[in-house]
Amino acid sequence: MQHILGIDGLSDADITAILDCAQAYADGLRQPELLRGRIVFSLFFENSTRTRVSFETAAKRLGAEVVNWSPGASSVAKGESFADTIATLAAMRPDAIIMRHTENRAPHMVAERALCPVINGGDGTRAHPTQALLDALTLRQARGQVQGLTLVYCGDIAHSRVAGSGMEIFRRLGARIRIVAPPAFMPMDLPPGVEAFTRMEDGMPGADVVIPIRPQNERMDTALIDDAGYAAAWGLTPQRLALAAPGALVMAPGPIRRGVEIDGAVADDPARSLILKQVANGVFVRMAVLDLLLAER
């Protein structure tokens, strides 16, 4: 592994190695301070709460120093191009670059120019590999294995890099995948083997895991569906969750909007909701990724 740009760039062995290493961190079995003296750049060209703070926490838990950069306070605001900004930052020779960008494949461009590993924290509508890895770790912990489970992604699948990378990793791990989406949010091309529905009532029966994805309104010129209409037809309520398999679990990448794509009672149900477990595992997965990319360099 040289960079982490998407799930497609990882072999099955890479995925297993990352999940096993993350589990070792979760179990307190790996040594801390592995990256003492290393400098990691965190370049977020787009808003983030969980991903940015989680990467920073992971790097610091491993003893690395994190340099945070954001476009609002930088020369980008003075008109410098993305390419020149990246060339400038890369010339400072960080040990790793973590980045998020609004444009698909922006991390690939950085990976071509930088002399260090590049880790994608989300690019446009394309990929969010560490989110997919932390989702896989969380489900593996909850159910022992992913093979044979039925997962339902519901909501704005067309604009969601979380759904894209998630469907990719879970298909490779042997899950059955369904989509429930309003026609406006249905992807143009369905990944092979994925079943699609437009009504929650049709997609829920037999689901072992339900993953609500919020409408990604910031990627559209105007919201395609208003919040009240969305909640009425596609919101994950206790009644809709009751149509899934007994004991079905709920995962969500966040940010969650209570009463829109997920009911507060579902998000807070300790027997069903894995949402905060996902957040906790995010740190372990990002520690594993930094460890595996950097420790041997």
Q: Which is nearer to ligand NCD, 46 or 95 (CB)?
A: 46
Q: Which is nearer to ligand NCD, 23 or 131 (CB)?
A: 131
Q: Phi, psi at residue 194, to the nearest 5°? A: -85, 130
Nearest in space to 25 (alpha carbons), one of 58, 69, 68: 58
User: Which residue bears the tokens 């339902």?
Assistant: 152
Q: Which is nearer to ligand NCD, 107 or 253 (CB)?
A: 253
Q: How far apart are CA 226 and CA 231, in angstroms?
A: 9
* Cα dihedral 67/71/74/77 (nearest 10): 180
CB of 87 to ligand NCD, least distance (A): 26
Q: Which is nearer to ligand NCD, 191 or 255 (CB)?
A: 255
CB of 254 to ligand NCD, least distance (A): 5
* Cα dihedral 62/167/50/257 (nearest 10): -160
Distance (Å) of CA 139 to CA 6, 72, 100, 209, 278: 19, 37, 25, 9, 9
User: Which residue bears the tokens 């994950």?
Assistant: 236
CB of 188 to ligand NCD, least distance (A): 20
CB of 215 to ligand NCD, least distance (A): 9
CB of 131 to ligand NCD, least distance (A): 5
CB of 294 to ligand NCD, least distance (A): 22
Q: Which is nearer to ligand NCD, 95 or 153 (CB)?
A: 153
Q: How far apart are CA 109 and CA 89, in angstroms?
A: 13
Residues that bind ligand NCD (CB under 6 A): 50-51, 122, 128, 131, 161-162, 214, 216, 253-255
DSSP state of 132: H
Q: How far apart are CA 133 and CA 169, in angstroms?
A: 7
Q: Phi, psi at residue 11, to the nearest 5°? A: -80, 170
Residue nearest to ligand NCD (CB): 253
CB of 166 to ligand NCD, least distance (A): 10
The helix or strand, by DSSP H or E, that contains position 42, with its residue range, turns out to be strand 39-44
Q: Which is nearer to ligand NCD, 50 or 258 (CB)?
A: 50
Q: Which is nearer to ligand NCD, 150 or 278 (CB)?
A: 278
Task: Measure CA 225 to chain center.
Answer: 24
Q: How far apart are CA 290 and CA 293, in angstroms?
A: 5
